[in-house]
Structure 1
């Protein structure tokens, strides 16, 4: 497998700036995004995998990729989330609009970040992001 990257533009919920509590960052059910992570066994209740991401400074961070699938077990949730990121986000001083960049080369995971980019105006139209994107390398 060659190197792959996905990017998440952080929202106020992601950074904790709303004061609310959420169970990690929502990962849309987009096959291109989900294929970045190891597959999870949906026959298990809330399957998860813990992944060690290396940052630019040489520190390892353990994030959890979870499929909250209790809708399959008489519950209501049916969503993927990336959890255990709060400490990384806070230590990096990330705020709304900043980006978390996750990259993978085989089984080696890396995390970095970029500060908020200026909004782009093209042909008089303000271009807004959707939050997640896959980077083709």
Structure 2
């Protein structure tokens, strides 16, 4: 399978539910490159969402996640953020830990896949700085 886009997310304690926060799902930054991986959601609709079907490398194991634009700030609420939700079952099944890396891939046909890469340790940058919150990165493949 040839992937045209991959994005990676270093998992934080909040992402895997270790902080006790009541937020739903992984926060997706409002950066154009990262948002372009996901389908467009209509900002004129309150809290628009779409179910995204991801497959693991075996091509059989399927995970359904929700991509949601919580935009109720524009409808009398307070939130204005994108999230990837319904991931708890996947993260628990894979025994995800802080610092592990999730790779989301999209192939030339638009099929989505997911992979969890274990680091075994919290993420550390080249400068030996401990990453306390997860980060996203876009990987472009030609």
Query: What's the TM-score once normalised by structure 1's chain length?
Result: 0.90
Aligned to 2:71: 69
Distance 2:49 2:21 in 1: 23
Aligned to 1:131: 135
Once the two structures are overlaid, the 10-residue window that deviates more, 17-26 or 86-95, is 17-26
Unaligned runs of 5+ in 1: none
Q: Give how far 1:128 is off.
A: 5.5
Once the two structures are overlaid, the 10-residue window that deviates more, 12-21 or 46-55, is 12-21
Aligned to 2:47: 46
**Other structure's SS at 1:72 match:** helix
Do the aligned partners of residues 93 and 41 (structure 1) sit closer, same or farther apart at CA in structure 2, a change above 3 Å counting?
Answer: same
Unaligned runs of 5+ in 2: none
Query: What's the TM-score once normalised by structure 2's chain length?
Result: 0.87
Once the two structures are overlaid, the 10-residue window that deviates more, 13-22 or 38-47, is 13-22
Instruction: Indicate whether 1:115 and 2:127 are aligned.
Output: no
Question: Deviation digits for residues 2-58 of structure 1, max 9, x if unmatched?
Answer: 621000000001011112221110000000000000000001010001010001232
Cα root mean square deviation, aligned:
1.9
Question: Deviation digits for residues 75-126 of structure 1, max 9, x if unmatched?
Answer: 11000000000110010011000011100113200000111266354xxx32
Instruction: Indicate whether 1:55 and 2:56 are aligned.
Output: yes
Q: Give how far 1:127 is off.
A: 5.0
In proportion to residue count, which structure has more strand?
1
Q: Number of residues paired by the alignment?
A: 134
Distance 1:113 1:4 in 2: 16
Structure 1 outlier segments of 4+, above 4 Å: 127-130
